Amino acid sequence: MIEIKNLRAAIDGKEILKGINLTVNNGEVHAIMGPNGSGKSTLAQVIAGREEYEVLEGEVIFNGKNILELSPEDRAREGIFLAFQYPVEIPGVSNVNLLRNALNEIKKYRGEDALDAMDFLKMMKERMKLVNMTQDLLSRSVNEGFSGGEKKRNEIFQMAVLNPKLGILDETDSGLDIDALRIVASGVNALRSKENSFILVTHYQRLLDYIVPDFVHVLYQGRIIKSGDKSLALFLEEKGYDWINEHAEEFVAN
C-alpha cells in the first residue's frame, strides 16, 4: 500500500522528520504514537501534500508511485485521505457540495463516470448512518459552527463517502468525549477491509481500545524509535511520554 523510505522534512528551515521508514500493507491498521512535537502531525501533512513542508530526502511510494511528486489533489485522487486534526470551517460551501465535487474530481481522474444525483444521495444517506450524521449537518456549510465532536465525525463521514485506499487520522480522538469516540471508532471499523489501510496518529492509547491496530509505532524526535503490537501502546500509556524523554535509549534497546 504505502512505503515510506528515509523521509526527512522541514518547515521554516527546521527539520521535523529525520528519516522515517514505515511500510503499511493492504488491510493493515497502524498507530503512530508519540509525545507532542515528535512529528506525528507533520508526517500526516507531508503524506497529504501540505506545501509548507519541505521534503529534504526520501520517498513515499503509494501503490507503486512516488507521491511526493504529486499535487495534494492527485494524492487524494490516488486514494489518500487525511482526516484533519483541526478541520477548517468553510462558510458558504455545503458538505453536500464539497463531497459531490470531491467525488466527481476523483472519478474524473480515474476515468470513471460522474455519479448521478440519485445514486449520490443514496450513498450519502447510507454513509451518514455510519457516524450518526444528521441531514441538517449535511446541508450546512462545511464545519461552520460545528462542535469539536461534530467536526471530527464529519471528517470520518467524508472519508466514508470518498472511500480512500489509505485513511490517515490525525488525532481524530483528541477532544472527543467517550460517546463521540465510540461513534467515530465504529465508523472507522465499518470501513476496514482487506483492501484499505489506516494510519492512526494519536497521542493517547484510548482510541486503540476501539480501533485495534495491527502495529504501533513510537515516533520520537522525528524518528520511529520503536515498533510493536498493541501492547506497546499500553506500555506507553502506563509509563507516560515523560518516561521516554528520560529513558529513550533504554526503551529502544529493550
Partner 1 sequence: MDKSLEFKEKLSSGFDSLEASLNGGSKLPLHEIRKNSLKFFLEANYPTLKDEEWKYTNLTGLLDLNFEFPDNKSSLLIESELEEFLSEREKYYNLVFINGVFSPESSDLIKFNGIIVSDLKFAVRNYYNLIEPHLGKIINPEFTIFTALNSAYINEGVFIHAHKNKVLDRPVRIVYFNNSDRNYIYQPRNLFLLEENSQVKVIEVYASSNESTYFTNSVTEGLVEDRAILEHVKLQQESKSAFHITATDISVKKEAQYHAYNVAFGSILTRNDINARFAGEHSEITLNGLFLGSGKQLIDNHTLIDHAVPHCRSHQLYKGVLNGLSRGVFNGKVMVRKDAQKTNAFQENKTILMSDDARIDTKPQLEIFADDVKCTHGATIGRLNEDSIFYLRSRGFGLELARTTLINAFATDAVHTITIDDIRNQIEEMIAANLSS
Q: Which residues here bind partner 1, judged by CB under 8 A?
A: 48-51, 71-73, 75-77, 81-82, 84, 87-88, 90-93, 97-99, 101-103, 105-106, 109, 141, 158, 162
Min dist CB 169 to partner 1, Å, is 13
The closest alpha carbon to 131, from 190, 78, 66, belongs to 190
Helices (DSSP H) in 79-221: which residue ranges?
Answer: 95-109, 117-130, 135-139, 148-162, 178-191, 207-210
Dig out the grid coordinates for 250 from the structure.
533504554
CB-nearer residue toward partner 1: 141 or 221? 141
Q: How far is the CB of 250 from partner 1 (least distance, A)?
A: 39
Please identify, using beta-carbon distances, which residue of 75 and 226 lies nearer to partner 1: 75
State which residue, 105 or 209, has the beta carbon closest to partner 1.
Answer: 105
Pick between residue 146 and residue 220 the one whose CB is nearest to partner 1: 146
Minimum CB separation from partner 1 for residue 216, in Å?
25
Between CA 60 and CA 43 the distance in angstroms is 11
Q: Is 6 helix (H, G, I), strand (E, B) or coil?
A: strand
Taking the complex as a whole, the smallest distance from the CB of residue 238 to partner 1 amounts, in Å, to 35
Cβ-based nearer residue to partner 1, 10 or 93: 93
- Cβ at position 188, least distance to partner 1 in Å: 18
Contact 75, 50 (CB under 8 A): no
R_g (Cα) of the chain, nearest Å: 18
Identity of the residue, 119 or 250, whose beta carbon is nearer to partner 1 in the bound complex: 119
CB of 230 to partner 1, least distance (A): 29
| 225 three-state secondary structure | strand
Q: How far apart are CA 58 and CA 168, in angstroms?
A: 19
Residue 137 or 234 having the CB closest to partner 1: 137
Three-state DSSP state, 147? coil
Provide, rounded to whole angstroms, the least separation between the CB of residue 48 and partner 1.
5
Residues 42 and 32: beta-carbon distance below 8 Å: no
Angstrom distance (rounded) from CA 179 to CA 7 = 36
Q: Are 171 and 203 in contact (CB under 8 A)?
A: yes
Question: For cell 470501513, what's the residue?
Answer: 191
Conformational region of residue 72, where left means phi above 0, alpha means psi within -120 to 50, and beta covers everything else: alpha
